[in-house]
Chain A
């Protein structure tokens, strides 16, 4: 196991180098002179030279790259063009907001996905199964900015309820924007988690159906094990193995989804930071944010791989 983790960490090195090259190249992939682009149309030559000097654009490319990587490793991601603050401190606070958003969404997706998947699998081809899978298909197909807008319409702006409904006269239960309190968290998390929940539910269903058909489930039943324990102990542990991989991949998707969700709900996270920075042509921030998000994704996948190993003893053989 230890050897595996070491090997797995070593394997991330080429990935990290690749990511850093791509992020670094972004600056140079922009058509024309990056300094000109950053400074904007019609900026005085002096300002452009200034930017060029500050970003080290006069150095040869390999040196620029090495400087960038050396600084990045030391936590120095440059300075924001817009605010003049360190990019790392610019990202700092927002990083945790996005991680929280993605984490809660993953928890919601896993929780709802597993339950729906298990219910569907144990009631194969029943009306419940069909209904749940139809809803899952719907959840999967909905673009998340649209879902976010609908949720704001229904549960933040609210709909007037008929007078016979006790306690509530209106469905404006949650806050439409910001991040921090429970009421602010609910809608973005649902928005971001829905499609993952749907994917996990479908995956869980097929994985459970596969496992329930296995010989060892019959063995458990023949031992006199209660049906609930057969499902939740014997079957689920095996069914989780492929699901874990999907959860890991979903997390990556969530980071992408966060860009839209944060914009819709005005959540001040990395996603919104990217959008704002792109609009302001604040290249160092864009670079830094993408680099951090990629690192996060690589790290989560590492964790998922380790979890997969722990669940699937068989792989530990080599």
Chain B
């Protein structure tokens, strides 16, 4: 893994959204949606970001593409910090990075035919010479499993799964290198979801695509990812290759998250770690480890000191977690705190 080329590198990315208030409508506070997030994506891999609502996973995806301008940090695509680029320079890079949204219907113009939707992207990026555009539309439709005869129909004439295919075709139309899929299969019925997942995997093989896959569904994530990032309240709590994350996870939040998923295995009794309460507000996140208010293992150390992402003995290369007590929890030395 380490000899692979890094395609995208995110350093200390911060995304704070101001909150206005008071008599004069000044900024009185910030929603700290993403707070010091760093990671890298290797060319050709699928990196997933998982977490519950409000953890900042979608915000991270949007910040990378500068759909919302990040507050601080660096995003290096192919060794260029794209946050420093002006609008014109940035547009050149947009061709290489495309996004697919959860609700394909909301992200495509309902008054355009599929052909217009697909050629529009090619036009903006000037990625395909005019003469070849019609052929390219045909090719794209075929690639995502739609009939070329459907090119002149409008989005509302398609089902949800087909619309997501249109969204994918649009992303592909400019030959991107990185695709950010933001909950791209979450709104689909399960039988359709499987078809779209298979399509995404096939396209990755064919076009050597790199995916940043943002999802809350750990089943899908396990199936599609090479590496996985777990986020909680704007911070990365664990990052690992797929196998380590599911079999050798270290962070108590990762463990709780996995144990909360209902399993279809009716014969296996499952130990569930029930988390207390709700995720705290990202406006005033807890001091120290952000998970400490819900963590069964939390101590005074967790309440005061922010844990760093680190690797420790028994963890694979590249596997890191942000917990003060992970060694002691694994060895059984550190037990859940009774009166926490």
Segment among B20-28, B190-198, B289-297, B323-331 that sits at the interface with chain A = B20-28
Q: Chain B residues near A10 (CB, 8 Å)?
A: 23
B23 touches A7 (CB 8 A): yes
A318 touches B23 (CB 8 A): no
Q: Chain A residues near B20 (CB, 8 Å)?
A: 318
Within the complex, what minimum Cβ distance (angstroms) separates B45 from chain A?
41
Q: Residue A58 at the B interface, CB < 8 A? A: no
Count of interface residues, chain B, beta-carbon cutoff 8 Å: 7
Count of interface residues, chain A, beta-carbon cutoff 8 Å: 5
Q: Chain A residues near B24 (CB, 8 Å)?
A: 7
How far, in angstroms, from A10 to B21 measured CA to CA in the complex?
A: 14
Q: Residue A13 at the B interface, CB < 8 A? A: no
Q: Chain A residues near B21 (CB, 8 Å)?
A: 318
Q: Chain B residues near A318 (CB, 8 Å)?
A: 19-21
Q: Chain A residues near B25 (CB, 8 Å)?
A: 7
Q: Chain B residues near A6 (CB, 8 Å)?
A: 23
Interface of chain A, helix or strand or loop or mixed?
helix
Q: Residue A74 at the B interface, CB < 8 A? A: no
Q: Chain B residues near A7 (CB, 8 Å)?
A: 22-25
Q: Residue A279 at the B interface, CB < 8 A? A: no
Within 35-49 of A, Cβ neighbours of B (below 8 Å) are at: none
Q: Residue A3 at the B interface, CB < 8 A? A: yes
Encode contact with A along B1-39: 1 for CB under 8 Å, 0 otherwise: 000000000000000000111111100000000000000
Within 9-40 of A, Cβ neighbours of B (below 8 Å) are at: 10
Give the nearest-CB partner of B28 in chain A.
A318
Within the complex, what minimum Cβ distance (angstroms) separates A182 from chain B?
46
How far, in angstroms, from A297 to B22 measured CA to CA in the complex?
A: 25
Within the complex, what minimum Cβ distance (angstroms) separates B24 from chain A?
8
Give the nearest-CB partner of A318 in chain B.
B21
Give the nearest-CB partner of B23 in chain A.
A7
Q: Chain A residues near B19 (CB, 8 Å)?
A: 318
Which of B22, B23, B24 has the most chain A CB atoms inside 10 A of its CB? B23
Within the complex, what minimum Cβ distance (angstroms) separates B332 from chain A?
45
Within the complex, what minimum Cβ distance (angstroms) separates A6 from chain B?
6
How far, in angstroms, from A88 to B207 measured CA to CA in the complex?
A: 80
Give the nearest-CB partner of A8 in chain B.
B23
How far, in angstroms, from A3 to B24 measured CA to CA in the complex?
A: 10
Give the nearest-CB partner of A9 in chain B.
B23
How far, in angstroms, from A7 to B26 measured CA to CA in the complex?
A: 12
How far, in angstroms, from A3 to B20 measured CA to CA in the complex?
A: 13
Within the complex, what minimum Cβ distance (angstroms) separates A201 from chain B?
31
Q: Chain A residues near B23 (CB, 8 Å)?
A: 3, 6-7, 10
Within the complex, what minimum Cβ distance (angstroms) separates B277 from chain A?
21
Give the nearest-CB partner of B21 in chain A.
A318
How far, in angstroms, from A6 to B23 measured CA to CA in the complex?
A: 7
Within 135-166 of A, Cβ neighbours of B (below 8 Å) are at: none
Give the nearest-CB partner of B25 in chain A.
A7
How far, in angstroms, from A140 to B24 measured CA to CA in the complex?
A: 39
Give the nearest-CB partner of B19 in chain A.
A318
Within the complex, what minimum Cβ distance (angstroms) separates A291 from chain B?
27
How far, in angstroms, from A7 to B20 measured CA to CA in the complex?
A: 13
Q: Chain B residues near A3 (CB, 8 Å)?
A: 22-23
Give the nearest-CB partner of B22 in chain A.
A3
How far, in angstroms, from A7 to B23 measured CA to CA in the complex?
A: 5
Within the complex, what minimum Cβ distance (angstroms) separates B203 from chain A?
37
Give the nearest-CB partner of A7 in chain B.
B23
How far, in angstroms, from A70 to B321 measured CA to CA in the complex?
A: 69
Within the complex, what minimum Cβ distance (angstroms) separates B81 from chain A?
35
Within the complex, what minimum Cβ distance (angstroms) separates B30 from chain A?
14
How far, in angstroms, from A318 to B25 measured CA to CA in the complex?
A: 10
Give the nearest-CB partner of A3 in chain B.
B23
How far, in angstroms, from A10 to B25 measured CA to CA in the complex?
A: 12
How far, in angstroms, from A3 to B23 measured CA to CA in the complex?
A: 6
How far, in angstroms, from A318 to B23 measured CA to CA in the complex?
A: 11
Within the complex, what minimum Cβ distance (angstroms) separates A116 from chain B?
34
How far, in angstroms, from A3 to B19 measured CA to CA in the complex?
A: 16
How far, in angstroms, from A10 to B22 measured CA to CA in the complex?
A: 12
Within the complex, what minimum Cβ distance (angstroms) separates B27 from chain A?
12
Residues of B within 8 A of A (CB): 19-25
Residues of A within 8 A of B (CB): 3, 6-7, 10, 318
Give 11 pairs: A residue, B residue, CB < 8 Å, sorted on A.
A3-B22, A3-B23, A6-B23, A7-B22, A7-B23, A7-B24, A7-B25, A10-B23, A318-B19, A318-B20, A318-B21
